[in-house]
Amino acid sequence: MMEHILSLITFSPLLGVLLLLFVPRDKAGSIKLIGVLVTLIPLVLAFTMFAGFDSAQEGFQFVEDASWINIPLAEGVTVQFNYTLGVDGLSMPLVVLATIVALMSAIAAVNMIQKRWKEYFILFFLMQVGLFGVFTAQNLFLFFIFFEISLVTMFFLIGVWGLDKREDAAFTFLLYNGLGSAIMLISFIALLVNAGLVEGPAGIIYTTDMQTLTYNLTNPASPLFQAGQYSDVFLYGVFFALLVAFGIKLPLFPFHSWILKVHYQAPPPMSMILSGVLLKIGAYGLMRMEVGFFPSIAMEFSTMLLVLGIVNLLYGGILAFVQEDLKMVVVYSSISHMGIILMGIGAMNRLGFQGAIFQMVSHGFLSAIFFFIVGVVYTRVHTVKFEELGGMAKVMPFTSGILLTAGMASLGLPGMSGFISEFLSFLGVFENHPILAAVASIGIVLTSAYLLRAILSVTYGPTKEILVGMPDARLTEVIPMVVLLGFIILIGVYPAILSDPLQTTLQSFLIRIGG
């Protein structure tokens, strides 16, 4: 099974699609049960993969490589797209994160989705295929296909099951991310033509295999590298094109405006996926392709990446502080925390890279639990505005306690994942850019201010009439809260569980940038 475990993780959700085809639409209980149980399968497989991952082994593990598409262009010249999957210390934690958040999202949908459950879970399963495939694909063509699957399914999941202005939000999501996809596709084609050449016994092959591209672009032993074939227009053009493409997904200021509308209108289970996993595709792409393919250019523009990260951090924090709606506070908080990832990448050292990856995983859990709690409150009273809430701790003490604990984790309380990720990222920045790090530290103060303001506004004070008699979390709501918070605490008290698998992968990145 371990030989094909990545394919099993990626495509196991299709079992749910097959089962749902035979379930009548009106059997809501059966549909929801299938939705949760089938989502449990990739989670179990992901933990099996995690247990079998060798932290000391260099390169990719659990690799699957099979001939897939071969397009002859001329005699002895072929364009080849192989079905290639694999994980390393960067992608493996993100696969595990995706399976955990997906299961919690499926459980959230049991109470928060009120119509067309069969169609919802079919699209949800297809979206999982895209999510898992993006992090396991080792071929740019395959990566792009999985990326588009996640994009199209999310469009329908927002447009059909969102709030009142869901169609507008869905088309905004499609417009921005479709533009990013187009830029990404053009960049991938440029990489195929300029850096994907391999000379084999059967002739010349052009490929989008990631390891081949990395070798051709960065290794002095590569014939293409030695020939000095790459023009500055190609190198810098693709670098900045991918920065925009993945910056839209991250989202990076000023490409962030789509996320405001989309998050507010998306159903809570989709907000959990969107912020917890989909945004990490942008961060993953920046690490894997920007730093992986163009290490010298990334080093050259590292200060620019740092400044962009600080702008995200401070911009998101300032606007989160002035919001009067709990959901919008969480949205702007996500924008702010994505800045920490970019800062860690811009540090261009081991501590910074490690902090960026920790932040990807930590924020995945934190944003998922925040949006879940927002969904729990909204499904009861249909509002999350501060002026209409207050005193929630008296009627919903468990939910309020989880919200406060998650807030402490997000603002960097020691013993929780937020502290580890922020500490490593800032330490990496301080190592090379102490002045920029000092400016960025204002963001820590802002985070404390807006989170405490929001949580106190909702949970303390006189209980508003709209909350009187409101029940606390049900069992199906307690499970996601406890599980997500458990992983937040686990990473905080035992960071080695995440840092150990990273080291050999980080070393390969550092070698490329000369560190």
440-495 pLDDT, tens digit per residue, is 999 999 999 999 999 999 988 888 888 888 888 888 899 999 999 999 999 999 99
Q: Which residue has the higher pLDDT, 389 or 273?
A: 273
pLDDT in tens, 180-194: 999 999 999 999 998
Residue 132: pLDDT above 90?
A: yes
* Cα distance between residue 392 and residue 478, in whole Å: 16
77-87 and 203-207 strand pairing = parallel
**DSSP state, residue 386:** G
* Cα distance between residue 119 and residue 305, in whole Å: 41
Q: Averaged over 229-256, what is the pLDDT?
A: 89
Residues 6+ apart with CB under 8 A from 241: 183, 184, 186, 187, 190
- Cis peptide leading into 254, omega within 30 of 0? yes
pLDDT in tens, 65-78: 999 998 888 888 88
Q: What band does 515 get if pLDDT is binned at 50, 70 and 90?
A: low
Residue 295: pLDDT above 90?
A: yes
For residue 511, what is the enclosing H or E element? helix 496-512
Tell me what pLDDT residue 48 has: 96
Q: Which residue has the higher pLDDT, 296 or 229?
A: 296
Residue 339: pLDDT above 90?
A: yes
* Cα distance between residue 363 and residue 390, in whole Å: 26
At 306 the three-state DSSP class reads: helix
Residue 320: pLDDT above 80?
A: yes
Question: Which residues are paired to 197 by β-bridges?
Answer: 206
Q: What band does 114 get if pLDDT is binned at 50, 70 and 90?
A: confident
CA-closest candidate to residue 176, choices 294, 317, 311, 282:
282
* Cα distance between residue 272 and residue 405, in whole Å: 18
CA-closest candidate to residue 163, choices 248, 270, 272:
270
203-207 and 197-200 strand pairing = antiparallel
Chain length of the chain: 515
* Cα distance between residue 140 and residue 293, in whole Å: 12
* Cα distance between residue 484 and residue 488, in whole Å: 6
Residue 202: pLDDT above 80?
A: no
Q: Averaged over 245-263, what is the pLDDT?
A: 89
Residues 6+ apart with CB under 8 A from 65: 82, 83, 84
CA-closest candidate to residue 157, choices 35, 330, 305:
35
Chain mean pLDDT for the chain: 91
- How many separate helices (H) and strands (E) can be counted in the chain? 25, 4
Q: Averaged over 337-360, what is the pLDDT?
A: 94
CA-closest candidate to residue 192, choices 207, 182, 210:
207
Radius of gyration of the chain (CA): 22
Tell me what pLDDT residue 228 has: 63
Tell me what pLDDT residue 109 has: 92
Tell me what pLDDT residue 163 has: 86
pLDDT in tens, 397-411: 999 999 999 999 998
